[in-house]
Amino acid sequence: MSEYALELIDIQCTFRSKDDHSQRYTAVADTTLRVSAGEFVSVVGPTGCGKSTLLNVGAGLLAPSAGSVKVFGQPLQGINTRAGYMFQTEALMPWRRAVDNVAVGLQYRGMPKAQALEQANQWLQRVGLGGFGDRYPHQLSGGMRKRTALAQVLALDPDIILMDEPFSALDIQTRQLMENEVLDLWAAKRKAVLFITHDLDEAIAMSDRVVVLSAGPATRPIGEFVIDLPRPRDVAEVRTQPRFVELHAQIWGVLRDEVLKGYAQQLQKAA
Ligand SMILES: Nc1ncnc2c1ncn2[C@@H]1O[C@H](COP(=O)(O)OP(=O)(O)OP(=O)(O)O)[C@@H](O)[C@H]1O
């Protein structure tokens, strides 16, 4: 079996331009990104550079214009069934209770309803929502809905977890609680994680490796940093360590110019 859970190799993604359909826009080019089994990798980059595009390629939701994707050494065809995907936006079904939202994926896989509900309740307990299974999404706080979404992904026991800025909508305290919980759950199961974020502090606090993407167009990796901070980590506490500060300065040195370029592009688009 390949030592890599997920390999994106020489990926290029070209779209028809949103503003002018006769034009093409290359969002991502020459991008190779590998995540080992059990590794936690974060990808940071300026707004609109192509982070979600790359994650969609890894999930099999988007076929790249060039390049290939391998999952545990095998070429990916169609949807990546070894991966669970946690989106930036809410993906819960509002008409289903929390426990039904978590159970639905298990039922799709053919698990009998009673067993699926039992497992879903266990997962809700593990993410700190024991006793809330009967609530509908609108009866839960933003943090609780994120926990439900996390339980939904983890219940399927994926070998690869793809997360696209999952906590960006949360307040900072809830966010740190969730980050610590994700780290605890990850440490117990050691799945491969590809985590997309705008937030460099979050990326360093959580990851084994941080990959920096350039501003678009033709976004590509321009830096890769091994995060040699000891584990287990508390995401709030780890930020005070001198090594964290050192790594932050190093990575920000690479990311800063790209963020400024990305920001200038946003202003240009809005003008
Ligand atoms: N289906 C599409 N058609 C046309 N252009 C697209 C499409 N999907 C993405 N793009 C463009 O590709 C670029 C990268 O988009 P993407 O959403 O991957 O960036 P991102 O880094 O995840 O953004 P953000 O940080 O805002 O979440 C953007 O300029 C976007 O407009």
pLDDT, one tens digit per residue, over 230-249 is 999 999 999 999 999 999 99
**3-state helix, strand and coil shares in percent for the chain, rounded to the nearest 5:** 40, 25, 35
Task: Give the Cα separation of 47 and 25 in Å (integer).
Answer: 16
Q: What are 120's two structure tokens?
A: 């879903």
> What average pLDDT is seen over the chain?
92
Among protein residues, the one with the nearest Cα to ligand 1's atom 7 is 15
| CATH code, domain with 256 | 3.40.50.300
Alpha-carbon distance values, 187 to 182, 184, 206, 208, 229 (Å): 8, 5, 11, 12, 15
Which band of pLDDT confidence, cut at 50, 70 and 90, is reported for residue 174? Answer: confident
Cα 95 to ligand 1 centre (Å): 30
Cα 50 to ligand 1 centre (Å): 5
Q: Is the pLDDT of residue 1 over 70?
A: no
- Taking the CA of residue 53 as reference, the ligand 1 atom at the shortest distance is 18
Among protein residues, the one with the nearest Cα to ligand 1's atom 20 is 48
Q: What is the secondary structure of 194-262 as a DSSP string?
A: EEEES-HHHHHHH-SEEEEEPPSSSB-EEEEEE----SS--HHHHTTSHHHHHHHHHHHHHHHHHHHHH
- Judging by beta carbons within 10 Å of its beta carbon (0-12, 13-18, 19+), is residue 114 exposed, middle or buried? exposed
Q: What is the secondary structure of 91-107 as a DSSP string?
A: ---TTS-HHHHHHHHHH
Which band of pLDDT confidence, cut at 50, 70 and 90, is reported for residue 170? Answer: confident
Q: Which of 57, 87, 61, 53 is nearest to 70 (CA)?
A: 57
pLDDT one-digit tens code per residue, 71-117:
999 999 999 999 999 887 778 999 999 999 999 999 998 999 999 99
Task: Give the Cα separation of 220 and 210 in Å (integer).
Answer: 14
Sheet-wide strand order for 74-75: 24-36, 4-16, 66-71, 74-75
Q: Does the residue 218 lie in any domain?
A: yes
Mean pLDDT of 24-48: 94
Q: Does the residue 260 lie in any domain?
A: yes
Q: What are 163's two structure tokens?
A: 């997360």
Ligand 1 residue neighbourhood (C-beta within 6 Å): 15, 18, 25, 27, 45, 47-53, 198, 216
Q: Which of 196, 191, 222, 245 is nearest to 37 (CA)?
A: 191
Q: Does the residue 139 lie in any domain?
A: no
Q: Does the residue 75 lie in any domain?
A: yes
Cα 86 to ligand 1 centre (Å): 17
Q: Is the pLDDT of residue 2 over 70?
A: no
Cα 17 to ligand 1 centre (Å): 11
Q: Does the residue 159 lie in any domain?
A: no
How many domains, the chain? 1
* Ligand 1 site-directed mutation target among 15, 62, 263, most atoms within 8 Å of CB: 15
Q: Does the residue 95 lie in any domain?
A: no
The single residue listed with the structure tokens 């028809």 is 16
Q: Does the residue 101 lie in any domain?
A: no
Cα 53 to ligand 1 centre (Å): 6
Q: Which helix (H) or strand (E) segment is 33 a member of?
A: strand 24-36
Task: Give the Cα separation of 211 and 24 in Å (integer).
Answer: 26
Q: Is the pLDDT of residue 226 over 60?
A: yes
Q: Are 178 and 167 in contact, with CB atoms under 8 Å apart?
A: yes
Cα 124 to ligand 1 centre (Å): 33
Q: Which domain holds residue 63?
A: 4-82+188-270
pLDDT at 246: 98
Task: Give the Cα separation of 132 and 228 in Å (integer).
Answer: 38
Among protein residues, the one with the nearest Cα to ligand 1's atom 3 is 15
Among protein residues, the one with the nearest Cα to ligand 1's atom 14 is 50
- Taking the CA of residue 56 as reference, the ligand 1 atom at the shortest distance is 18
Task: Give the Cα separation of 155 and 185 in Å (integer).
Answer: 12
Among protein residues, the one with the nearest Cα to ligand 1's atom 15 is 50
Q: Which helix (H) or strand (E) segment is 57 a member of?
A: helix 51-59
Task: Quote the ipTM score.
Answer: 0.95
Q: Does the residue 64 lie in any domain?
A: yes
